[in-house]
A and B are shown apart, each in its own frame.
Chain A
Amino acid sequence: MTATTARRPDAPAAPAPPARRSARRGRRRAERLRERSEMIPVRLYGLRRGTVTLLTVLCALFAVFTLIPIAWIVINSTKTQANIFESFGFWFARPFEFFHNFSLLFQDVDGYGTFTQWFANTALYALAGGGGATVLAAFAGYGFARFSFFGSRAMFLLVIAALLVPITAITVPLYLTYARVHLIDSIWGMILPSMVSPVGVYLMRTYVQVSVPRELLDAARIDGAGELRIFFRIALPLMVPGLMTVLLLSIVAVWNNYFLPLIIFSQNNLYPLTVGIGLWAQRAQNSGSTQIFPLVVMGGLVTIIPLIVLFLILQRYWRSGLLLGSLAS
């Protein structure tokens, strides 16, 4: 927790973009330098010669294990179906079909649905669900952190208890309930439950407690500002880094969700990517179609790229979020 909370929440309201970028780069460099200077010089450990090399090799081996599936999917996205089966899996083969395979994503091959539709669905579910979760968590986290009223403690304990309930445990009950209230095959059945993020509320409460000083709010109250105005003008700007973390975590959670959409959607034009790719993988085995394997591979590649890019760009928020999230649960 200390690592995150020590991070300056003093994000300026709106500096000029170039200044912000260079500031960010500088901050990153400072972080790296600090990390290095905090480390004890390796030679002091009195290691046998070659240890560093050996350990680096071990790291490299595990890195190879980590990257193998990703390398495979990149390479095979360029192949025809025949070559996916017949050519060596870890090298390219002629003909180079990357663009052809990519164009397949825009067609409804075999009548199981189109990738582009699923991609748009996923983006909608992730943005609406994740965005909604963030908004609700911002309000509730602020409310829990900076107000105490009758029942607030009990309500917060309820949220903590909800942290213990896993997604899987809530999915089948949701399905049963939807069957009663006609939310099966409705996009709201996917979006609305995604907006309920007890972890997000917990994270925001912790974040507000650390980064939004009570005195500042009280000063504004003495000046006669209304509660909403105080929230939007004073608290919210201070909460931005924490909100980024919550937004990121909730978007990824929706993006990766498989179980809920799998059981509540029966029309393939409502599927998110996870369900669509799973369906293709299943059909690929059962049908003799000539096109569907390249489709699965290319679809998988296009599914993971946005997330990996998002992750590489926003690493800092991920890490702090993970840490807080793990402490929460």
Chain B
Amino acid sequence: MSTTAITAAGARPRRAPARRGTRRSLPASRRGVWFILPFLLMFLLFMVAPLGYAIYTSLYTSRIIGGTVFSGAANYTQVLTSGDFWSGVIRVVIFGAIQIPVMLAIAFFFATIFDLGVARFGRLFRTIFFIPFAVPAVVGAVMWSFLLEPQFGPFSHLASAVGFPGTNFFSPSLLLPTIIVVVIWEWTGYNMVILYTALRSVPRDVVEAAILDATPLWKIIVRVKLPIVRPAIVMLVFLNTIGALQLFTEPLVLSYYQTQAVSVNYTPTLYIYNTAIAGAQTNLAAAAAVVLGFVIVAISAVSLVFRRRREGTP
């Protein structure tokens, strides 16, 4: 650690008129640059440069005959007019429209219970609910695949035991609900913890005053607590939307279990992955990656504006 520090901050003699004696006026010091430089360098090399290169690549097309030629917006036109890309987009939008409200409702329900302390063993449950967050998505998806596998999965047995013989959770009609359940399993605890923390910040005397007025509990929750945690909920909606648009690992792992339902363009990210790796159409994949990245950045930017406006002038 210290060696990094020294090479980064000290041993560069170029701009080193350091000891000039006016050290007291340092709050506006230029020397802070040396603290930021190591990060900035890595940031430029491994984030800015690849993004720039992807944009550059997306403007070219390589042909078997004639090599790589500049093609302007052709790749973008192809991505934006291809059904493959849009069917994935529509699918993740449907996915998010179901998964996010359901998960947030569950998370808010339990966060409220823990905040009010109206269930026993609250701390224990809180810890348990959060555990899936520590499980890598791949392993989570593998575990659920075993549980839901059509031939030997315990849940398929259970389904036939309660009167739905031959239930195939990996069939085209049930695959999306299956993925929704897996993602809810993974992320509810995280959302719950954030909502719980937001709920804890509701001033106690406000709630006490409401109780003294004999306000029923549901009304306290809806009228007092919900408005105060609304910014947290809005933020989680945006975060989860961004996550939903990037859906990748779960459908990919499920596709390992001989699921014909997972097409190569099942989600936008799978489309990009398969275009780049299996299809070796890197220019097209770069264009698709830029489009998806742009959509996500736009959503994030909207969320920032939204929050700024809501917070208003401090």
Does A252 interact with chain B (Cβ within 8 Å)? yes
Q: In the complex, A52 Cα to B118 Cα: how many Å?
A: 5
Of the stretches A10-18, A108-116, A165-173, the one at the interface is A165-173
Does A322 interact with chain B (Cβ within 8 Å)? yes
**Interface size bucket, B side?**
35 or more
**Chain B residues positioned under 8 Å from A221 (CB to CB):** 23-24, 26
Would you give the shortest CB distance from A121 to chain B, in whole angstroms? 14
Does B193 interact with chain A (Cβ within 8 Å)? yes
Would you give the shortest CB distance from B94 to chain A, in whole angstroms? 19
Pair A196/B296 contact, Cβ less than 8 Å: no
Pair A146/B32 contact, Cβ less than 8 Å: yes
Which residue of A is nearest B242, CB measured? A166
Partner of B139, one of A68, A177, A252, A277: A277
Pair A282/B119 contact, Cβ less than 8 Å: no
Pair A177/B272 contact, Cβ less than 8 Å: no
Does B171 interact with chain A (Cβ within 8 Å)? no
Does B105 interact with chain A (Cβ within 8 Å)? no
Partner of B136, one of A45, A62, A258, A322: A258
**Chain B residues positioned under 8 Å from A56 (CB to CB):** 119-121
Does A288 interact with chain B (Cβ within 8 Å)? no
**Chain B residues positioned under 8 Å from A140 (CB to CB):** 35-36, 38-40
**Chain A residues positioned under 8 Å from B120 (CB to CB):** 52, 56
The count of A-to-B residue pairs whose CB atoms sit within 8 angstroms is 321
Would you mind naming 26 contact pairs between A and B with Cβ atoms under 8 Å apart?
A: A39-B116, A40-B211, A47-B118, A55-B119, A63-B125, A67-B131, A70-B143, A89-B154, A136-B38, A139-B8, A142-B35, A143-B32, A143-B35, A143-B36, A144-B32, A155-B40, A172-B285, A193-B47, A195-B42, A214-B27, A258-B138, A285-B256, A308-B131, A308-B135, A326-B194, A326-B236
Partner of B117, one of A42, A168, A195: A42
Map CB proximity to A onto B15-43 as digits: 1 under 8 Å, 0 otherwise: 00000000110111111111110111011
**Chain B residues positioned under 8 Å from A59 (CB to CB):** 110, 113, 119, 121-122, 125
Which residue of A is nearest B208, CB measured? A40
Which residue of A is nearest B198, CB measured? A323
Which residue of B is nearest A225, CB measured? B23
**Chain B residues positioned under 8 Å from A137 (CB to CB):** 39
Q: Which of B192-206 contact A (CB under 8 A)?
A: 193-194, 197, 200-201, 204
Does B145 interact with chain A (Cβ within 8 Å)? yes
Query: With A198-B43, A307-B135 given, is the CB distance from A147 to B121 under 8 Å?
Result: no
**Chain A residues positioned under 8 Å from B135 (CB to CB):** 70, 304, 307-308
Q: In the complex, A2 Cα to B35 Cα: how many Å?
A: 27
Map CB proximity to B onto A169-195 as digits: 1 under 8 Å, 0 otherwise: 110111111011000000000001101
Query: With A177-B49, A263-B276 given, is the CB distance from A166 to B36 under 8 Å?
Result: no
Q: Which of A26-53 contact B (CB under 8 A)?
A: 32, 38-40, 42, 44-47, 51-52
Would you give the shortest CB distance from B192 to chain A, in whole angstroms? 10
Map CB proximity to B onto A81-93 as digits: 1 under 8 Å, 0 otherwise: 0001110111000
**Chain B residues positioned under 8 Å from A60 (CB to CB):** 125
Which residue of A is nearest B257, CB measured? A285
Q: Which of B136-179 contact A (CB under 8 A)?
A: 136-140, 142-147, 151-154, 157
**Chain A residues positioned under 8 Å from B127 (CB to CB):** 312, 315
Does B96 interact with chain A (Cβ within 8 Å)? no
Which residue of A is nearest B120, CB measured? A56
Map CB proximity to B onto A138-165 as digits: 1 under 8 Å, 0 otherwise: 0110111011111010010011001111
Query: With A69-B147, A164-B297, A170-B51 given, is the CB distance from A2 to B201 under 8 Å?
Result: yes
Partner of A326, one of B30, B200, B239, B256: B239
Does B69 interact with chain A (Cβ within 8 Å)? no
Partner of A174, one of B50, B116, B152, B292: B50
Does A65 interact with chain B (Cβ within 8 Å)? yes
Counting from the closest, the 7 A-B pairs by CB-CB distance are: A147-B32, A143-B35, A169-B293, A89-B154, A173-B54, A140-B39, A173-B50
Q: Which of A294-309 contact B (CB under 8 A)?
A: 296-297, 300, 303-304, 307-308
Does B279 interact with chain A (Cβ within 8 Å)? no
Pair B146/A304 contact, Cβ less than 8 Å: no
**Chain A residues positioned under 8 Å from B128 (CB to CB):** 63, 66-67
Does A123 interact with chain B (Cβ within 8 Å)? no
Does A213 interact with chain B (Cβ within 8 Å)? no
